Chains A and B, each alone.
Chain A
Amino acid sequence: MLRSMPAPSLAGKPVNSSIFTLQTWAHRLSAAGRRLLFGAALMASGQIHATEPGDPAKGEDLYRACKSCHQIGDNARNGVGPHLDGLFGRQAGSLEEFRYSGAMQQKGQDGLVWNEFTIDAYLEKPNAYIPGTRMSYRGMRDPQDRLHVIAYLKALSAAPPAADAAANTDIGAEIGAAAMQLEGDVEYGEYLSTECVTCHQMSGRADGIPSIVGWPNNAFIRALFEYKTNVRSHQVMQNMTVNLGNEEIAALAAYFATLEPQ
């Protein structure tokens, strides 16, 4: 319904950071006022720029960028990011078993609830919508792409999460498995970490560089091995990991897992 509305020509870029405020105020206003605000929020969101309705199949493709951190569907668990089952209508930062950034928890307490508008705005530029978020995704520019992803999320988030949604620590025959078997030396990890925290902030804040505090042990190890073996490409990280052995990587993972994001 929303999507078939004629798209007004907007000169500038949509100002997404205003949606959240608009929506929290909206309930205090008259019906007419609300309609006006709703229109404004709509113009501000990506929905109006999209021409075709959200397609879950296309969304699934795009969701590959999200998958390494966010599980969704039957038996989803928390990983580097929270699982996304039951996302629609969920208060931001509210899963008890997940360690969110302070910024995300605060937004939830201030009343941010995930729906297609708020997810759209967050996805477009996470760090602008929730400054201080630990999600280090840079953002999805194309409003049409966001619509597809939201359609996919909608289709899958209805499934129930795993009974124990705490971080998944299964070890398969996978990259980094040898390091995952080791008991990391936290003190050694703390020394090695000094090299990481010149760029990755100890507070867990991500601006332009991902947050690495409070990750599940195995996800951390997997990521470092993926850099070390050039599965993930990033010049700095490939250079940083090239000389790290299993013992060093296990130590780093053990140390960073002990930290709480602020």
Chain B
Amino acid sequence: MPNLTRRSFGLLAGASAASLAMPHYARAQGKPRAVVIGGGSGGGTAARYLAKDAGEDLDVTLIEANARYTTCYFSNLYLGGFRDFESINHGYERLASNYGITVVNAFADMIDREAQEVVLADGSRVPYDRLVVAPGIDIIYDSVPGYSEEAAQIMPHSWKAGPQTQILKSKLDAIEDGQQIVMVAPPNPYRCPPGPYERVSMFAHVLKNKGYTNSKIIVLDPKPSFSKQALFQEGWEKHYPGMIEWYGPDVHGGIVSVDPATGAVETDLDTFTGSLVNVIPAQKAGMIATKAGLSNDSGFCPIDPYSMRSKMDDKIFVIGDACIAGDMPKSGFSANSQAKVAAMAIRGDLLDARVFPAKYSNTCWSLIDTNDGVKVGAQYAPTDEKIASTSSFVSQTGEDAALRQATYEESIGWYNGITADIFGS
């Protein structure tokens, strides 16, 4: 084979390795190929919109490490007893059967950007013309001294939903009256800005329901303030008086270390001990993004605000928690919104489809206690510098009970809406 280039060699190698186990990777010769890494909020949406809008003209492959996806959203409501675990789990069957997406259940180990191929853990290769990278976050365990992946079995972070969420739930349910819960909150930027404080509310809800008013929840926060702070603090005062103590860095002076053996969290001020310790460390883009050279010093991936295209590689789009999305928070809603812009840009690249000006939005609902829901949201537009907020809103303190209940009911509608939009209905 005299004129075998590096690229076509990679293709051939990929085809032969894949033809045994998964024969259809190289199936659609001639058709452009879009590949998505990560079947979460961003990646699932991107794959579904690519396949739905391009129909037969595009070959869409979704590479996802897990067989099922547990949503982080409503995982706090599962902790609080408002949802069962099954209800926050979703499969990929409909993406395969209703939209013709090739779903590959495998871990993507690296991206060969020169060959335009994704290399899976078993060494097989998936070629792409355009690639969406949506791996979510990785936990930076050593950002909290004493913490580690093993320690997370005892002091769960539960910031990636699934088994971690179940560990936290069983520890929460085992708390006895008078025992203490300690949360180490995360530094910015992290996924779901109001998430830790909704979780604290759910801890308190469970304790209050059992009449365990002698128990306390201590929040040790590296940030001087947090999302929807006035709303949460008003709600805590109202529903859980005296049960929750929040300390910012000006009080605790800094988190020194954690000790899984004793349940102790040492700060400059004092040592706090909990029967349940929930440690939420700092975060960075999922490993694959960094390994492929798509991230910068911040640990996240710079993108073009008009299209979600990677600033490092014009064949690659990075969406969701892994990217630097300007004013947008890292949320499932944001990831879903960014995915639609990326999918449109890819259809423009590969199929000459109409490309409309990018628009982005986000709304995050949080539950404070039964029927007491609050929300925050914004609209965004691209500028040369970043994705910038154009208008925003937040629930008000002192709202009446009917509005708060409507807000909670709305969040249930949103959950059903977004999960149908990601995984198909």
- Give residues in A with beta carbon < 8 Å to B: 138, 187-188, 191-192, 194-195, 197-203, 205-209, 235-236, 238-240, 242-243
Do B393 and A197 touch (CB < 8 A)? no
Instruction: Decide yes or no whether B417 CB sits under 8 A from chain A.
Output: yes
Q: Which residues of chain A are within 8 angstroms of B421 by Cβ–Cβ distance? A: 197-198, 202
Q: Are B412 and A208 in contact (CB under 8 A)?
A: yes
What are some 13 contacts across the A-B interface (CB < 8 A)? A191-B344, A192-B356, A195-B359, A198-B336, A198-B421, A200-B417, A208-B406, A208-B411, A236-B393, A239-B393, A240-B361, A243-B379, A243-B390
Give the CA-CA distance A208 to B418 in the complex, in Å: 13
CB-based nearest A residue for B408: A208
B416 touches which of A187, A205, A239 (Cβ 8 Å): A205
Q: Is the CB of B379 within 8 A of A242?
A: yes
With both chains docked as a complex, state the minimum distance between the C-beta of B358 and any C-beta of chain A, in angstroms.
10
How far is the CB of A221 from the nearest CB of chain B, in Å? 19
Closest B residue to A210 by beta carbon equals B413
B413 touches A209 (CB 8 A): yes
**A208 contacts which of B359, B392, B410 (Cβ < 8 Å)?**
B410
* Supplied contacts A198-B417, A243-B391, 7 more A-B pairs, CB within 8 Å: A188-B356, A199-B363, A202-B425, A205-B416, A209-B417, A240-B361, A243-B379
| C-alpha gap A206/B412 in the complex (Å) | 10
Q: Is B333 in contact with chain A by the CB < 8 A criterion? A: yes
Quote the shortest CB–CB distance from B243 to chain A (angstroms): 28
Name the distance in Å between B340's Cβ and chain A's nearest Cβ. 4
**In the complex, which residues of chain A have a beta carbon less than 8 angstroms from the beta carbon of B375?**
235-236
Verify if B337 is at the interface (C-beta below 8 Å from A). yes
A197→B333 CA distance, assembly (Å)? 11
From A187, A202, A235, give the contact of B395 (CB < 8 A).
A235
Q: Are A201 and B425 in contact (CB under 8 A)?
A: yes
B254-292 to A contact mask, C-beta < 8 Å, 1/0: 000000000000000000000000000000000000000
Contacts of A239 in B (CB 8 A): 361, 377-379, 391-393
Closest to B53 in A: A190
Residues on A with beta carbons closer than 8 Å to the beta carbon of B408: 208
Q: Interface size (B, Cβ < 8 Å)?
A: 35
Which of B356, B406, B416 has a CB less than 8 Å from the CB of A191?
B356
Closest to B376 in A: A235
Contact B333 A138 (CB under 8 A): no
A138 to B408, CA, bound (A): 13
A187 to B344, CA, bound (A): 12
Are A201 and B420 interface neighbours, CB within 8 A? yes
- Report the nearest B residue to A136, measured CB to CB: B413
B374 to chain A, nearest CB (A): 10
**Which of B344, B361, B381 contacts A195 (CB under 8 A)?**
B361
B379–A194 CB distance below 8 A: no
Check: B107 CB closer than 8 A to any chain A CB: no
**Contact partners of A209 in chain B: CB under 8 A:** 410, 413-414, 417
Shortest beta-carbon distance from A146 to chain B in Å: 18
Q: Which A-chain residue is minimally distant from B49 (CB atoms)?
A: A194
B372-407 residues at the A interface, CB under 8 angstroms: 375, 377-379, 381, 390-393, 395, 406
Chain B residues contacting A188 (CB-CB under 8 Å) are 356
Distance between Cα atoms of A235 and B395 in the complex (Å) = 8
B415 to chain A, nearest CB (A): 9
Contacts of A235 in B (CB 8 A): 375, 377, 393, 395
Q: If A192-B359, A208-B412, A239-B378 touch, does A201 touch B417 (CB 8 Å cutoff)?
A: yes
A243 to B357, CA, bound (A): 13
- Give the complex CA separation of A138 and B413 in angstroms: 12
Query: Does B413 contact A202, Cβ atoms closer than 8 Å?
Result: no
Query: Chain A contacts of B411 at CB under 8 A?
Result: 208
A202-B420 contact in complex given A138-B409, A208-B411, C-beta closer than 8 Å: yes
Asked if B425 and A203 sit within 8 Å, CB to CB, the answer is yes
B238 CB-CB contact with A under 8 Å:
no
- Could you say which of A138, A192, A243 contacts B406, with CB atoms under 8 Å apart? A138
What chain A residues lie within 8 Å of B363 (beta carbons)?
A: 199, 236
